[in-house]
Structure 1
Amino acid sequence: MEAEKKITLAVNGGIGFGAKLSPKQLLTLAKLVEEDTEIELTTFQQLYIQIAESKVEQVKMELEAEGFSCYPVGAYVKSLRTCNFCKGAEEEGMPVAIELNRRIAGHPVPFTLAPAYTGCQNACGEPLVHDIGVIKRKDRYELYIGGKAKGEDARTAVLFQDQLTPDELYANVEQLLQIYQQNGKKRERFFKFIQRYGMERLKLEMGL
């Protein structure tokens, strides 16, 4: 009998203080995966698990009931990597991070895209070495694009916009992703798309 196809899911505890998991959540995770399944801890505050295709929706429901967030793996926007909100949820903008993640995580793109957020200028969430990075300064937000953490062509993201309100931040990130989704080539990384498309053309198309 042919083995059932396995689907990889990315799961985490959502946007919170240090992306923590409770013992109850870990027990639930252990119950839902097969005994011989390896759980991979990624550098992006996610756990990769493999689930039989026929059980994916049921497993997602049970995980989400315990406070997990579940995301697809592949050419999608990854869940938002964040700092530890060490100065508090309100001061460092956790509600904004949660809403931004809700709007963009899991959306299809030409190549896996990694966004990151940090609540102060210390940049502990590493926003400057990710495809899209957000830094909160006082009550406004800075948007950086085009970072890359690995490889010989590693680079720091460049400031795209600053002094953004939360609503402006959401709208601009969503518009950036829409332009990338519509105009990026298959498997074209975001920083290469920016190089090809041009920063000024991006700003012009977005009305900036």
Structure 2
Amino acid sequence: MTHQPTTLPLAPRLPGGLVTPVMLRHLADIAEKYTGAIKVAGNSIVILGLNPQDRTLALAELGLDSQSLPAKTVRSVVVCAGKPYCSRAMQDSTALGLALDNEFYGAELPGKLRIGVSGCPNACSEVFVKDIGLYGVSAGYTVVVGGNSSRQARAGRIIAEKIPPTEVLPLVTKIIAYYKSYGQPGERLGQTMSRRGFEDLAIAIGIS
């Protein structure tokens, strides 16, 4: 018999992890009202310990979507602080991350796909363990593919460098299209690359 949890977490969808002070106070009020605990996790704020009925009510009161998605989709894009808040940022990672999130979030794929965007090579968004990672340099973005931080952890590989911001979305579109075409059910992008070869992906997306 499968054990059913008595409480459920609520992770409101906050694109780019951005939240206004008003929204933050509202989240705190909702957590307090339904006796939930608050945890900051990556680009998310999670309210823990809600019973199923209260979770439904809390989500309605917040007026936000939940991040609960089928396993085989594009997840929320993880974004670093970026410009104008970080003096190290070489590119506007926030604007790019939000554009990628708006374009791809929730898209169905052979397996889960995570994207991370950082404004500089410090890679605060852990881009080397994302399926698709990008970090800013003075000449544009470096693109990393095939990373994974799960039980079968692996570092991604650099597939392109000095990509202008305006060319990032078309390139990511090609990478995701490749994965959708050739990935096997339940397979992550890095596993598809291992099976078919890194060069196969590079040729398919026009990177030599």
Where on the TM-score scale, by shorter chain, does this alignment land: which range? 0.7 to 0.9
1:100 aligns to what SS in structure 2?
helix
Q: 1:30 to 1:77 in 2, by over 3 A?
A: farther
Supply the distance in 2 between the matched residues of 1:70 and 1:175 (Cα, whole angstroms): 28
Instruction: Find out whether 1:197 has 2:196 as its counterpart.
Output: yes
Partner of 2:79: 82
Instruction: Find out whether 1:127 has 2:124 as its counterpart.
Output: no
2:93 touches 2:117 (CA, 8 Å); kept in 1? Answer: no
Supply the distance in 2 between the matched residues of 1:137 and 1:47 (Cα, whole angstroms): 29
Point out where structure 2 has 5 or more consecutive residues left out of the alignment.
1-7
1:15 aligns to what SS in structure 2?
helix
Matched residue type, 1:78: R
2:158 aligns to what SS in structure 1?
strand
Name the TM-score, length of structure 1 as normaliser. Answer: 0.73
Q: 1:127 to 1:90 in 2, by over 3 A?
A: closer
1:161 aligns to what SS in structure 2?
strand
RMSD across aligned C-alpha pairs, in angstroms?
3.3
1:8 touches 1:72 (CA, 8 Å); kept in 2? Answer: no
Partner of 2:111: 111
Instruction: Find out whether 1:62 has 2:60 as its counterpart.
Output: no
Q: What aligned pairs does 1:162-177 form with structure 2 within 5 A after superposition?
A: 162-177=161-176
Q: What aligned pairs does 1:1-208 form with structure 2 within 5 A after superposition?
A: 10-15=11-16, 19-20=18-19, 22-27=21-26, 31=30, 35=34, 42=41, 44-47=42-45, 59=60, 62-63=63-64, 70-73=66-69, 74-85=71-82, 86-87=86-87, 91-151=91-151, 153-208=152-207
Percent sequence identity is 22
1:72 touches 1:106 (CA, 8 Å); kept in 2? Answer: no
Supply the distance in 2 between the matched residues of 1:190 and 1:9 (Cα, whole angstroms): 28
Q: 1:38 to 1:202 in 2, by over 3 A?
A: same
Residue 8 of structure 1, CA deviation: 8.1
Point out where structure 1 has 5 or more consecutive residues left out of the alignment.
1-6, 64-68
Supply the distance in 2 between the matched residues of 1:126 and 1:92 (Cα, whole angstroms): 17
Q: 1:103 to 1:61 in 2, by over 3 A?
A: farther
Residues matched between the structures, number: 191
2:73 aligns to what SS in structure 1?
coil
Name the TM-score, length of structure 2 as normaliser. Answer: 0.73
